[in-house]
């Protein structure tokens, strides 16, 4: 049986206002766009490819490749700080900067602290600001991830990344300012060891983890945040509550599993066993028949597995930002339209173009979605 994996590597600047007639439910009503011929592979060239050499000392791995993104990274950081100041006044940001400096100096694993040092040297940004970027992304992402197997045995893994909601509306671009800023620093990475690409990932310049990744000829992975961020766990971590615990950030864990696991099953076990800072959903795809699973996590345990089983009609798994056994917030229901659109697509039509059209449909595509990854 032929298996094919595509992940995290085709992109689209999106989140456009649709020009069709307004339906009775209003302009925000679900609209499945399967069959509209939307897929353009040329969009893959929009996001740059960079190389991370894991054989280099940690402080040198990102220094050269992220240097040119310094201005874009600063725009993202300034937007986050501006929103914090709007909400709380002037007292919060200095406190966060102090805590992030402490996290870098005392809590981060050594290799990550050194990688941040290299980026800070190349960009002129402070290690406190770069540390904030790495922690903030753990807590605020709205996404839709899909793993699907077609009738030919080909497996596709795709995701939308929704980021930047409520962070200062850009009237001219009709989008959130943080969403627009993040577009400028989105990058694809080849991670190289001994001169060979061992895995690929997509992330934001300045972040040390990955958002979506593929271990060559083994497995694919995306991670969705939970709609309710685990702020309490972050405070516990900063105040020493996890001292002596090998605790993981979700996006760092995605990179770590790419480095350590050599099969779908090994990746599943790693992601099930680690202790992590915040609960999340790992969406894992493999290269073999029925290798697709959603791993529902809290900080210490697996709460549920949702597994693909084509023999029982479950030829895909789809995850947004809510536990599978919980109803999504009525103003943020991407699950129901997504499932309906997948059924409209049908298993025989699962392909890069077909999944792209599902993820380009309302409400899966929305005003904070700025990338579609395959």
Pick from 301, 281, 311, 280: nearest CA to 293: 281
CB 304 within 8 A of CB 296: yes
Helix (H, G, I), strand (E, B) or coil at 250: helix
Query: Could you tell me the two tokens for 185?
Result: 């620093």
- Burial (CB count within 10 angstroms: exposed 0-12, middle 13-18, buried 19+), residue 95: exposed
Quote the DSSP letter at residue 106: I
Is 143 in the active site? yes
CA 14 to chain centre: 16
Q: Is 93 left (phi over 0), alpha (psi -120 to 50) or beta?
A: alpha
- Burial (CB count within 10 angstroms: exposed 0-12, middle 13-18, buried 19+), residue 313: exposed
Helix (H, G, I), strand (E, B) or coil at 297: strand
Among 15, 143, 280, 369, which one carries the catalytic annotation?
143
Helix (H, G, I), strand (E, B) or coil at 346: coil
Strands (E), the chain: 49-53, 142-149, 155-162, 169-170, 175-176, 186-193, 196-204, 212-215, 219-225, 247-248, 275-276, 280-286, 292-297, 302-307, 316-319, 369-373
Query: Could you tell me the two tokens for 77?
Result: 């950081």
Residues marked as catalytic? 143
């Amino acid at each position: 049986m032929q298996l094919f994996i595509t992940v995290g590597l085709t992109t689209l600047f999106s989140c456009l206002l649709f020009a069709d007639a307004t339906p009775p439910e209003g302009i925000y009503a679900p609209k499945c766009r399967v069959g509209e011929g939307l897929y353009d592979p040329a969009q893959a060239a929009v996001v740059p490819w960079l190389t991370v050499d894991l054989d280099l000392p940690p402080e040198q791995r990102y220094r050269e490749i992220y240097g040119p993104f310094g201005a874009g990274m600063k725009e993202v950081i300034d937007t986050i700080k501006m929103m914090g100041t709007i909400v709380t006044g002037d007292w919060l940001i200095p406190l966060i900067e102090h805590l992030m400096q402490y996290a870098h100096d005392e809590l981060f694993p050594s290799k990550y602290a050194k990688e941040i040092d290299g980026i800070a040297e190349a960009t002129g940004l402070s290690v406190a600001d770069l540390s904030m970027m790495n922690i903030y992304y753990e807590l605020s992402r709205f996404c839709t991830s899909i793993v699907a197997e077609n009738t030919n045995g080909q497996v596709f893994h795709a995701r939308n990344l929704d980021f930047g909601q409520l962070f200062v509306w850009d009237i001219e671009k009709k989008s959130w300012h943080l969403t627009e800023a993040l577009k400028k620093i989105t990058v694809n990475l080849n991670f190289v060891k001994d001169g060979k690409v061992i895995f690929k990932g997509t992330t934001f310049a300045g972040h040390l983890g990955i958002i979506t990744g593929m271990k060559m000829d083994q497995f694919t992975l995306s991670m969705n945040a939970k709609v309710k961020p685990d702020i309490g766990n972050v405070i516990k971590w900063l105040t020493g509550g996890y001292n002596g615990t090998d605790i993981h950030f979700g996006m760092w864990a995605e990179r770590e599993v790419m480095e350590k696991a050599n099969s779908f099953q090994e990746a599943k076990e790693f992601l099930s066993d680690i202790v992590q800072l915040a609960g999340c959903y790992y969406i894992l795809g493999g290269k073999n028949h029925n290798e697709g699973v959603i791993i529902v996590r809290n900080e210490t345990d697996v709460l549920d597995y949702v597994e693909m089983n084509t023999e029982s009609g479950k030829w895909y798994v789809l995850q947004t930002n809510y536990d599978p056994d919980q109803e999504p917030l009525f103003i943020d229901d991407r699950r129901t339209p997504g499932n309906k659109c997948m059924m409209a697509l049908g298993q025989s039509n699962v392909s890069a173009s077909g999944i792209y059209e599902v993820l380009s449909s309302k409400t899966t595509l929305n005003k904070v979605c700025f990338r579609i990854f395959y």
